[in-house]
Amino acid sequence: MANILEVKNLKISFRTSGGTVKAVRNISFNLEKGKTLAIVGESGSGKSVTSKAILGILAGNAIVEGGEIIYDGKDLLKISEEEMCDIRGDEISMIFQDPLSSLNPIVKIGKQITEAMLLKNKTSRKQAKKEHQRITALLKENMRLASAENAEKAVEYAFRTALEKKKAVLPALAEAKTFFAGEFTKAEAVKYANDLCDRVEDSIDRLETVKDSFAYTLRSGLVSGIERYFAVLRSNPKEEARYARQSQKREALIAKGKIVDWKVRPKNVYDPQELKGNLVHLIDRLMERYEAVIAQADGVNIAERTAALHAYLQDKAAKAEAVVTPAMAKERAIRLMEEVGIKDPKMRFNQYPFEFSGGMRQRIVIAIALAADPEILICDEPTTALDVTIQAQILELINNLKEERNLSVVFITHDLGVVANMADDIAVMYAGKIVEYGTVDEVFYDPRHPYTWALLSSMPDLDTKEKLDAIPGTPPNMIYPPVGDAFADRNKYAMQIDFEQQPPEFKVSDTHWAATWLLHPDAPKVEIPKIITDRIARMRGAQNGK
């Protein structure tokens, strides 16, 4: 199934008075259309920072040090605020943790729901009309070039033409890898990148409904990568000098017998060769995509592509024609309130947030998030502030809405038990990194990382009779991230290498991996804690009807 959202090598830090906090450290994941991805971890693991980066609402002291967030062929980290405003709420929406802080206490809830419709619908109509006209013009142009009388022949012509251009651009991409691996000036690199990207963009099949994110984002990726490379060449010597100066000052004070209660801030330097390698990797990734498209060209179903284009145009046309008046918005809001389970919506439309219970306020927030009919819904711990019985109702509601509206969901929580019955895939985060990733069955029935074991061991269920295991210690100070595995200090299974070197991602299956040295062939065999094996046995028994 196609990915609707792709996060690649995302790195985010925050400037603070105490130093630079490394909040998200090189994470990657994909969200498939119509699926739910759960991101699970303790407070401070980087879950909410990741979700806010997707929505473009990071705090002012945030530094995006690298990576891409790809949606609809665009890198959300590199588009303008105006473009992001068109996407935020309209195509990607969010349910926040505390419903009361998300609502204006002195504005009636009806107005708060309709506000999103009336504001975003103007942009949505304008964008939908523009996109519909653009694709229709491309379709007509391809029909003219192919001397065709129907859309199917035009779609085939566009695909075959783009295919030949992909074949032609592959040697240029191979040459570009050599260029960016060598020496170059900034002016040379920018000109080379733009010339190459002109050819790549000419090889894109513009009648594809699922955009090729590698091709669409090559220009922004190369240009920003070149900027970063030359910025590092300028900043590294300054940072080295700063570190040497502060270290010398500290040592001199200690030598004089003075008490020094401050530390030297670690060097914030980057390897220029690694940044060059990132440029080569962008091109390598596109080459792999193009080679795969060329290899699979004979098996492409043109009728299916035409049907997908027809559905896409219908959707855009429907949005372009939808004119929402205040009266229509009110009617829609009342229907939405019914949909999210608020009784007597006509009467409650004119009430204030304080007149609702916590669970009802969360339903209102969900209605606001759905008001502009988004494609992606981000749920940032939406049940944390609610009691257990209401939690279950809200989770069931989100699950039902996902099925009815074909939503793609990113669900953020610290509780693995919350996502057991609603997630398709789970990413377990700790100290800014994803430490285990797999399908919901793989993470629950075959967990491999000690941190995942710790989360499962601290999770109660109805049949738990044993004493639950608390996770000892606290997460590390991310101003000074650990050299090795960040969980090593709290991990009773930690080996010496855990304190010295970060573990790579060890593959367990095609859809499951974990970053722990315990999966290394030379590591000692460690048994999963008994509390987890007993729970797995109970879950399997319940699943099999035993």
pLDDT in tens, 350-366: 999 999 988 899 899 99
Q: Specify if 539 maps to a domain.
A: yes
Read off the pLDDT of residues 251-309 as tens digits, 9 standing for 90 and up.
999 999 998 888 887 787 889 999 999 999 999 999 999 999 999 999 999 999 999 99
Q: Based on the fold, state whether residues 73 and 208 are members of the same structural domain.
A: no
Query: Does residue 348 sit within a domain?
Result: no
pLDDT greater than 70 at residue 462: no
CATH number at residue 13: 3.40.50.300
Distance of alpha carbon 412 from alpha carbon 88, whole angstroms: 18
pTM for the model: 0.84
Number of domains in the chain: 3
Which of residues 293, 316, 339 is at a domain's end?
A: 316
Residue after which a domain boundary falls, among 284, 299, 316? 316
pLDDT at 465: 63
Domain range for 508: 452-543
Residues 231 and 299 grouped into a single domain: yes
Is residue 166 located within the same domain as residue 265? yes
Amino acid occupying residue 339: E
pLDDT average, residue stretch 201-216: 91
In this structure, the answer to whether residues 306 and 412 fall within a common structural domain is: no
Q: What is the pLDDT of residue 262?
A: 83
Q: Judge whether 131 lies within some domain.
A: yes
Residues 89 and 197 in one domain: no
**Same domain (yes/no): 159, 208:** yes
Task: Kindly state whether residues 156 and 239 are assigned to the same domain.
Answer: yes
Structural domain ending residue among the three candidates 292, 316, 340: 316
pLDDT at residue 387 is higher than 90: no
- Are both 267 and 199 inside the same structural domain? yes
Query: Is the four-CA dihedral 200, 201, 206, 208 of positive or negative sign?
Result: positive
Give residues with Cβ within 8 angstroms of 156, minimum separation 6. Answer: 146, 302
Specify whether 465 is located in the same domain as 393: no
DSSP state of 298: G
* Confidence at 528, pLDDT banded by 50, 70, 90: confident
Is the pLDDT at 85 greater than 70, yes or no? yes
Residue 528 within a domain: yes
What is the reported pLDDT for 2? Answer: 81
Q: How far apart are the first and last CA of the chain?
A: 34
In a domain, 435, yes or no: no
- Please state, rounded to an integer, the average pLDDT across all residues of the chain: 89
Q: How far apart are CA 409 and CA 48, in angstroms?
A: 14
**Residue pair 371/117 in contact by the 8 Å Cβ criterion:** yes
Same domain for 281 and 203, yes or no, is yes
| Per-residue pLDDT band at 450 (split at 50, 70, 90) | very high
Q: Lowest mean pLDDT: which of 145-154, 232-241, 388-397?
A: 388-397
> Do 279 and 235 lie in a common domain?
yes
Q: What is the distance between the alpha carbons of residues 366 and 371, in angstroms, rounded to a whole number?
A: 9
Q: Does residue 115 belong to any structural domain of this protein?
A: no
Instruction: Evaluate whether residue 76 is within a structural domain.
Output: yes
| Maximum alpha-carbon separation in the chain | 89
- 532 and 468 assigned to the same domain: yes
Does residue 446 fall inside a structural domain? no
